Structure 1
């Protein structure tokens, strides 16, 4: 750990000393430098539009906030395995994308969150796909798929994001679509790889007629995944189209995206923990890098929902996305008044049909002993579904096959009017409006008994007194089955002003006032026996709606502000400082968890979280090097946490946190065609305001993480070249839980890639992830509150995987 920290701090020190020398020489006469390469010139002139008052953006080097950008090529070189995995490019963020394409957990610097991504908003064209970043069984990255229609991504951390759009105080990930131009362009890309991957991406864009431009593109993909369950894990595709009209002093763009995709969701697998969790090793007979408990035997499962009511589900549907997004962005200048408007409509189903691991592994004999102690009898018989006996020393696990049906709809609109009201002062006034809903049907629990081996077999257990403990593998009832409908609305008004003091100094500030109203209708629940047979203990305590409902509602208001400034040290070098105060409102799930209107109204039980952030930073870009370095401080108050245990118990708590850290993005280009990049962060963030967790490290966030990426391009003449690249990633140790009981050790991974370009039309790319087969954990057993040594369930990295693609551009 100390060596990693020394390596990072030494790199930062060298970069800072170099940059100080450069700053001192900035005003002195110097010999003419070599002209920047095209890639460097693009970086120097790059304009960002996320978190900026003007719809036309500001140069990245002149922005007074922390923002990371990645072009289409940078995204492909990073080879993200999911949308959430894009966040590995962002210092200060930590994405746990080992669940597959959907259902990621994303942590933001010092912000306390246990799962999902409550402090990350996902946008397309500057519009939030869904106004709330996280609900139970939904987080924003699950509603977005990457393909060749994406031009770039901008990820804003803190800064002025508390004022604009949905007012996200954490991180905003904004994907920018390609638009048609006067020069037609198109591409076809074929990809194959690990897990019998078969994927095709297409794109075409160009001019339609005078002033009109369009694009269309998408993908289709089918694969069994790195963890082969025996059936296709990811299967589906999407299509996206844009239509742009150029105006005299502006433009309007319409877009539509249709996605129909299903993705397997992976939770923990059996592992051996020793040395207090500091050492993780393979569970006998289970490959933690490629194995999954899921199998064809359990793929199609049944839920006993009520007497006479059974429901059938398919694990192959996983955590899918079936959605349509319609949107428009408009920007026009009217005699010095700049008017912009952005809206979108989202309508989709994001169901979760997945396995969730429960208790830690144990022997069949120990399971039988526990069953006899609970249900009486003297002998237990365990057999596979085909009737053959299960050995007493066979290791077994319990995992719930859960079904959550979720229908989401939303409409968002943001309008801004800007005017230079006095010289060098531009005032922006705007409003943000959102309406959104969620209709939920849940069936949690439904525990199944299975062997602790890849592609597990289900187990039946009967006792000699007639008790049936497990039937067709089912050994537990549905323990939580709410039916709920939610509606929400947000209205926000904001004012921002940018003042250009002189050629070197810019100051900006803004205030936002927001109001949220939530309404919920939630079924009341009772437990019962679905077959009126006390001997079938696996379904005796099934959670079922009673037919009556509870109506809950709440209205909240809050104010946010931001104040920042930028000082130019040289043409392409600046420092900035910023302070902001933001908030998050409670969400639909908080109403349901509270259960009664009295608790909903109790601001101590359900507070409105408030966040204060401060940061200072340095930015520069040139032919030889680029650097983006900033220090941050966060102070968080009043966030409600929930944890659902394996037995259905729901734990609730309220905490805050405080943290400090440094983020870096460095690139050195010592010779032509060679680039050495380093990005990462160090932070020290701890809980406060709760005696149970006071002083504990914020869960699931490493103190130190970084990525080192060398890239070397070898030209062959006539437009041919070979680019070789790789990334060494270090993720420091973390705690899986708030109490710091489940230790997650540090890990290091190596990714490699090569891009062979033939002229301007043909590209061949080979990329490999985790080529050293590093066994690293991203999540402990979130269904338990204890840690320690012995057999455990935890979620590790995917093992070595490869992708090979062939692209033709025209």
Structure 2
């Protein structure tokens, strides 16, 4: 803890010293480093961001009165993100648990209380939300997006004015900007190979089509068995994107389309050994936690007992995949003294989850058999029965076994969003922006949770059958549990928001902005009523007794909410390239489809005390500067939340609760360039957040969020005539956390080391070799979320980070 405080104090100290030096140097010229260093940082100084700004043309990053992180195409590649969510490791104040694979991440934002998925993160493409609801059960926004070489850059806004624009997200907004064609043709072809038999081809081409017309096209094809090999393709699919831009007098209009069809294995917990009250995590005997997975070809194709006479077939290789298309149209133009912009898109696709979810902690086969007899054959001896492998042979009583559910959740999503803005200068240095946002969205769901299977606690596990001497069949073809929750539902919703913002330039150094938003949401649901029964009418086959299924009748639910949001900020320029800012905002999140279903009755739904509309208040004070010698973006924040609902799906149950939280902390993005071609960056945050309003957990630390996290990244470029070599590496520290709201399940801190080398040869060739977690660190991102209570001693299930992975790529520019 002492080192944590020292780091935070050092960051604040650097900010204060820099602030003083900038104030003293305002209006003066300093002796600059070499011209090459000035060239290297000039792009950063002039970086214009469009996310969270009132004007469609954007504002210089240094001149914004809010916290925003940007990453160029090269910065994205150098970070070697394993998925879209993993890009957020570049962003202070955000912790992404990207250990599930390409999809299904859990993302926590500084002090925002969330237990899973990403309720406080919205993902946008060209300023449009890909799907306007940031999170649903078995869907989080980053799952609907795949990275490729068509991306120019990403902007990640935290808090700030985002409460009044677009979807009104009070947390973090990831905005990916597509490349657009220009007068200079650009083409690239990239081949990548790596750990897990990764094979990937990326391509991009853009340029001028005719006078005033520009276009791009690009995408990828890939397949991989993954760092954790499930014995089938972990990632298998392709993506294609295209843009068409028409230049207008004083503006432009751009149409884009992006189609993705990919299957992605979803990884959950693996067996581990916990000791020392959870402070020490070690390898489970015979199971490599860095590369192992329970999934195997033996269980890849499985069946679901859905109802009498209804059996469904599923394939684990489908994982948490995506088969979807998004169409968009962006317009912006200056007409007379008016600036107009309109952004619209349409999303249509399936984002299903056909995946394994671990259940009870590992135990011996003998203990499992004893438990089975106690439940189904209580008058017999504990060993009365047999345990055999589905593929043949007896199971040793000492064999460690584990249970895992093979779940099926099918989601068909559709949405349309549109945001219109008009800006006009009213009086000198006073610009007013007004507009509206509209979203219409749907989700059709069919769930089958449960279907527990008994298997060995080994990599690529083997399934086990269990039969007792009294004729009870506990496990058949490995299946030892029923479907415990099987709703079908159709949901639809729409949002309409009106917003207005005013930006006033007091003088050349001071700028003030205020904004307000009024939004109404209407959501409707048709949710199946459930019953339970024995699917084969045989009480001896206990694995399918009490199976959840629909009755054929439905409950209709609806809810309307209206909320007000506002933001106010001020910016003081200390010098042309340094400023301080302050901001306050109040935002909301809405009740979404799963909250409606979990409410259970219309009465509970209408009771705002039972299912309230969450409220979020944030206060920020920041400092920004960029010079050839150093850069600093530092932000102190205070957050306050109320009425946040939580859901935890455990073994055989769905738990719900409501609470609030409060927190404070500091974020930092620092860089120094002491000599030509050398840069050292430090990014991260320190925060302290705890629950409130719920007596059961009030005062506990907000789950899954480290108090301290940081990344130290040195890079050095070696010019070699027309060629160059860049060496870079990153040391990452993630502090300790609690896996649960009760603060009973501890997650230790961990550290990783990544490194890479990039060689550019002439104007056409690039060669890159990069590795992540090179030290094979064992770190946990979550405990066993299927269980409640302390898990601090003996065998557990938990989800570790991926082991060492290496990728090599060759890129040709033409």
700, 720, 726: which one aligns with 2:729: 726
User: How is 1:393-412 mapped onto 2 (pairs within 5 angstroms)?
Assistant: 393-412=398-417
Q: Partner of 1:533 in structure 2?
A: 538
Q: Distance in 2 between matches of 1:196 and 1:527?
A: 44
Q: Partner of 1:599 in structure 2?
A: 604
Q: Which deviates more, 242-251 or 379-388?
A: 379-388
Task: Report if aligned partners of 1:180, 1:214 keep a CA contact under 8 Å in 2.
Answer: yes
Q: Which deviates more, 780-789 or 131-140?
A: 780-789
Task: Report if aligned partners of 2:357, 2:404 keep a CA contact under 8 Å in 1.
Answer: yes
Q: Distance in 1 between matches of 2:296 and 2:166?
A: 43
Q: Structure 1 residue 792 and structure 2 residue 800: aligned? A: no
Q: Distance in 2 between matches of 1:606 and 1:759?
A: 61
In the TM superposition, what is the alpha-carbon distance from 1:15 to its structure 2 partner? 5.0
Q: Partner of 1:449 in structure 2?
A: 454
User: Could you report, residue by residue, the CA deviation over 1:152-204 in whole angstroms, capped at 9, with x for unpaired residues?
Assistant: 00000000000000000000000000000000000000000000000000000
User: Could you report, residue by residue, the CA deviation over 1:717-774 in whole angstroms, capped at 9, with x for unpaired residues?
Assistant: 1x20110000000000000000001100000000001001101210000000000000
User: How is 1:355-504 mapped onto 2 (pairs within 5 angstroms)?
Assistant: 355-376=356-377, 377-378=380-381, 379-504=384-509
Q: Partner of 1:546 in structure 2?
A: 551
Q: Distance in 2 between matches of 1:61 and 1:601?
A: 45
Aligned residue for 1:37, secondary structure, equals helix
Aligned residue for 2:610, secondary structure, equals coil
Q: Structure 1 residue 801 and structure 2 residue 805: aligned? A: yes
Task: Report if aligned partners of 1:380, 1:463 keep a CA contact under 8 Å in 2.
Answer: yes
Q: Distance in 2 between matches of 1:330 and 1:311?
A: 46
In the TM superposition, what is the alpha-carbon distance from 1:642 to its structure 2 partner? 1.1
Q: Partner of 2:567 in structure 1?
A: 562
What root-mean-square deviation, in Å, do the aligned CA atoms of Structure 1 and Structure 2 show? Answer: 1.0
Q: Structure 1 residue 637 and structure 2 residue 642: aligned? A: yes
758, 762, 766: which one aligns with 1:763: 766
Aligned residue for 2:406, secondary structure, equals strand
Q: Structure 1 residue 294 and structure 2 residue 295: aligned? A: yes
In the comparison of the two structures, how many residue pairs are matched? 808
In the TM superposition, what is the alpha-carbon distance from 1:19 to its structure 2 partner? 4.2
Q: Structure 1 residue 668 and structure 2 residue 672: aligned? A: yes
Q: Partner of 2:783 in structure 1?
A: 780
Q: Distance in 2 between matches of 1:708 and 1:661?
A: 19
Q: Structure 1 residue 351 and structure 2 residue 356: aligned? A: no
Aligned residue for 1:606, secondary structure, equals coil
Q: Distance in 2 between matches of 1:78 and 1:470?
A: 45
Task: Report if aligned partners of 2:706, 2:737 keep a CA contact under 8 Å in 1.
Answer: yes
With structure 2 as the length reference, what TM-score do the two structures score?
0.98
In the TM superposition, what is the alpha-carbon distance from 1:2 to its structure 2 partner? 2.5
Q: Which deviates more, 46-55 or 785-794?
A: 785-794
In the TM superposition, what is the alpha-carbon distance from 1:574 to its structure 2 partner? 0.3
Aligned residue for 2:371, secondary structure, equals helix
In the TM superposition, what is the alpha-carbon distance from 1:790 to its structure 2 partner? 1.0
Q: Partner of 1:659 in structure 2?
A: 663
User: How is 1:76-95 mapped onto 2 (pairs within 5 angstroms)?
Assistant: 76-95=77-96
705, 711, 715: which one aligns with 1:711: 715
Q: Distance in 2 between matches of 1:505 and 1:453?
A: 63
Q: Partner of 2:2 in structure 1?
A: 2
Aligned residue for 1:599, secondary structure, equals helix
Q: Distance in 1 between matches of 2:632 and 2:460?
A: 47
Q: Distance in 1 between matches of 2:23 and 2:725?
A: 35
Q: Structure 1 residue 741 and structure 2 residue 752: aligned? A: no
User: Could you report, residue by residue, the CA deviation over 1:80-110 in whole angstroms, capped at 9, with x for unpaired residues?
Assistant: 0000001100000000000000000000011
Q: Distance in 2 between matches of 1:39 and 1:556?
A: 49
Q: Partner of 1:754 in structure 2?
A: 757
Do the aligned partners of residues 34 and 22 (structure 1) sit closer, same or farther apart at CA in structure 2, a change above 3 Å counting?
Answer: farther
Q: Partner of 1:169 in structure 2?
A: 170
In the TM superposition, what is the alpha-carbon distance from 1:786 to its structure 2 partner? 1.4
Q: Partner of 2:248 in structure 1?
A: 247
Task: Report if aligned partners of 2:26, 2:574 keep a CA contact under 8 Å in 1.
Answer: yes
With structure 1 as the length reference, what TM-score do the two structures score?
0.99
Do the aligned partners of residues 30 and 702 (structure 1) sit closer, same or farther apart at CA in structure 2, a change above 3 Å counting?
Answer: closer
Q: Distance in 2 between matches of 1:357 and 1:544?
A: 22
Q: Structure 1 residue 520 and structure 2 residue 521: aligned? A: no
User: Could you report, residue by residue, the CA deviation over 1:310-339 in whole angstroms, capped at 9, with x for unpaired residues?
Assistant: 000000000000001000100011111111
User: Could you report, residue by residue, the CA deviation over 1:49-71 in whole angstroms, capped at 9, with x for unpaired residues?
Assistant: 00111000000000000000000
Do the aligned partners of residues 229 and 31 (structure 1) sit closer, same or farther apart at CA in structure 2, a change above 3 Å counting?
Answer: closer
Task: Report if aligned partners of 1:282, 1:288 keep a CA contact under 8 Å in 2.
Answer: yes
Aligned residue for 2:104, secondary structure, equals coil
Q: Distance in 2 between matches of 1:5 and 1:387?
A: 58
In the TM superposition, what is the alpha-carbon distance from 1:132 to its structure 2 partner? 0.4
In the TM superposition, what is the alpha-carbon distance from 1:34 to its structure 2 partner? 4.2
Q: Distance in 2 between matches of 1:655 and 1:32?
A: 52
Q: Distance in 2 between matches of 1:29 and 1:293?
A: 62
In the TM superposition, what is the alpha-carbon distance from 1:29 to its structure 2 partner? 5.5
User: Could you report, residue by residue, the CA deviation over 1:612-664 in whole angstroms, capped at 9, with x for unpaired residues?
Assistant: 00000000001000000010000001111111111x21211111000000000
Task: Report if aligned partners of 2:509, 2:572 keep a CA contact under 8 Å in 1.
Answer: yes
In the TM superposition, what is the alpha-carbon distance from 1:37 to its structure 2 partner? 3.3
User: Could you report, residue by residue, the CA deviation over 1:378-399 in whole angstroms, capped at 9, with x for unpaired residues?
Assistant: 4120000133100001000000
Q: Partner of 1:125 in structure 2?
A: 126
User: Could you report, residue by residue, the CA deviation over 1:676-717 in whole angstroms, capped at 9, with x for unpaired residues?
Assistant: 000000000000001111100000000000000000011111
User: How is 1:222-371 mapped onto 2 (pairs within 5 angstroms)?
Assistant: 222-371=223-372
Do the aligned partners of residues 32 and 473 (structure 1) sit closer, same or farther apart at CA in structure 2, a change above 3 Å counting?
Answer: closer
Q: Distance in 2 between matches of 1:467 and 1:573?
A: 74
Unaligned runs of 5+ in 1: none
Task: Report if aligned partners of 2:25, 2:575 keep a CA contact under 8 Å in 1.
Answer: no
Task: Report if aligned partners of 1:5, 1:704 keep a CA contact under 8 Å in 2.
Answer: no
Q: Partner of 1:188 in structure 2?
A: 189
Task: Report if aligned partners of 1:661, 1:684 keep a CA contact under 8 Å in 2.
Answer: yes
User: Could you report, residue by residue, the CA deviation over 1:765-792 in whole angstroms, capped at 9, with x for unpaired residues?
Assistant: 0000000000000001111111221110
Q: Distance in 1 between matches of 2:66 and 2:420?
A: 22
Do the aligned partners of residues 344 and 463 (structure 1) sit closer, same or farther apart at CA in structure 2, a change above 3 Å counting?
Answer: same
Q: Partner of 2:26 in structure 1?
A: 26
In the TM superposition, what is the alpha-carbon distance from 1:566 to its structure 2 partner? 0.6
Do the aligned partners of residues 47 and 462 (structure 1) sit closer, same or farther apart at CA in structure 2, a change above 3 Å counting?
Answer: same
Task: Report if aligned partners of 1:148, 1:203 keep a CA contact under 8 Å in 2.
Answer: yes
In the TM superposition, what is the alpha-carbon distance from 1:6 to its structure 2 partner? 2.0
In the TM superposition, what is the alpha-carbon distance from 1:17 to its structure 2 partner? 1.7
Q: Distance in 1 between matches of 2:670 and 2:684?
A: 9
Q: Which deviates more, 329-338 or 153-162?
A: 329-338
In the TM superposition, what is the alpha-carbon distance from 1:605 to its structure 2 partner? 1.0
Q: Distance in 1 between matches of 2:787 and 2:184?
A: 57
674, 691, 697: which one aligns with 1:693: 697
Do the aligned partners of residues 31 and 622 (structure 1) sit closer, same or farther apart at CA in structure 2, a change above 3 Å counting?
Answer: closer
Aligned residue for 2:277, secondary structure, equals helix
Aligned residue for 2:162, secondary structure, equals helix
User: Could you report, residue by residue, the CA deviation over 1:236-279 in whole angstroms, capped at 9, with x for unpaired residues?
Assistant: 01000000001110000000000001100000000000000000
Aligned residue for 2:16, secondary structure, equals helix
Task: Report if aligned partners of 1:713, 1:723 keep a CA contact under 8 Å in 2.
Answer: yes
Q: Distance in 2 between matches of 1:30 and 1:606?
A: 58
Q: Distance in 2 between matches of 1:15 and 1:617?
A: 9
Aligned residue for 2:112, secondary structure, equals coil
Do the aligned partners of residues 507 and 18 (structure 1) sit closer, same or farther apart at CA in structure 2, a change above 3 Å counting?
Answer: closer
Q: Distance in 2 between matches of 1:410 and 1:557?
A: 20
